[in-house]
Structure 1
Amino acid sequence: MNTGDVWRLHHEGQEIARLTVTGGDFPWMHATIETLPGFEEFRPVFADQERAIDDEDPERADACYHQIRKSLTMTYPDGEPVPEFWLHVHGDGTAGWRWHHEPFDDDDQ
């Protein structure tokens, strides 16, 4: 993916954030995030996920991941849906994510 590409985050068909790629460190993509109406209800989940990772609490981090994935979808810059992603939104206005062209198996999480 290219610097400047815009990936989009959706909730129930509504675009709630734009992630503008700033770079990557395979397998992670990095971006700035522009939040839109509808995003704020998910900010606490992303904050809890970040704390869980910092606290080395994989069970809590996994619970946040599942909550994010059951509620949110992501699209590639061309508008096609991303089948699977693991997104982290940081408090400093940046985001990082991994993605895959096929859904993860339950064992891969």
Structure 2
Amino acid sequence: MNYKISHEGEIVFINFHGDLIGEENGPEIIESVNDTLSNNIVKCAVDISDVRYINSSGIGVLITILTKFRNKGGEVIIVNPSEHVKKLLVITKLNVIFSIVDTIAEAKEELNK
């Protein structure tokens, strides 16, 4: 799995590519999230449109990201999950916990409310 973190104003964007299997870069991603939060950026859009597969460790990474942002009064929005990942989010009932939108533009709109 590869990922890219970028900032635009008060929003951090995390883009995942490949299989979201948290064992590999999970700690590294969480460290980047901690750095972001220490800079008082508490809005996050996680683009998983290029994620083909996600396992329990990958779900753990998403939940950890959400928890860290919400503990600081922020929010995380999941952007454009594939049908496979969307089904997994429904099965695990994470679709109730996460805000899920189809585009980055929608994520920006939601986070800037």
TM tier, smaller: under 0.3
> Greater share of strand residues, 1 or 2?
1
Instruction: Compute the TM-score of the two structures, normalised by the length of structure 1.
Output: 0.26
> Greater share of helix residues, 1 or 2?
2
